[in-house]
Amino acid sequence: GGEVLSVMNEVCHVVLPQERKKEKVVWMGNCPL
């Protein structure tokens, strides 16, 4: 159960900010935490 949430958190807090910097990606939604 918690495994998926931790992956989503990593994507939200680690991957997305990096992608934003590179390609100005807009995150459609909210972080789980």
- Interval 1-33: pLDDT, tens: 567 777 877 777 777 667 666 665 555 555 654
> Which residue ranges make up each domain of the chain?
1-28
Q: Model pTM?
A: 0.36
Provide the terminal-to-terminal Cα distance of the chain, rounded to the nearest Å.
15
Please give the pLDDT value at position 10.
Answer: 78
CB-side neighbour CA atoms (13 Å) of 13: 9
- What six digits make up the tokens of 2? 């918690």
Sign of the Cα torsion 33, 28, 15, 2 reads positive
Distance, in Å, from the CA atom of 33 to the CA atom of 31, rounded to the nearest integer, reads 5
Distance, in Å, from the CA atom of 33 to the CA atom of 24, rounded to the nearest integer, reads 22
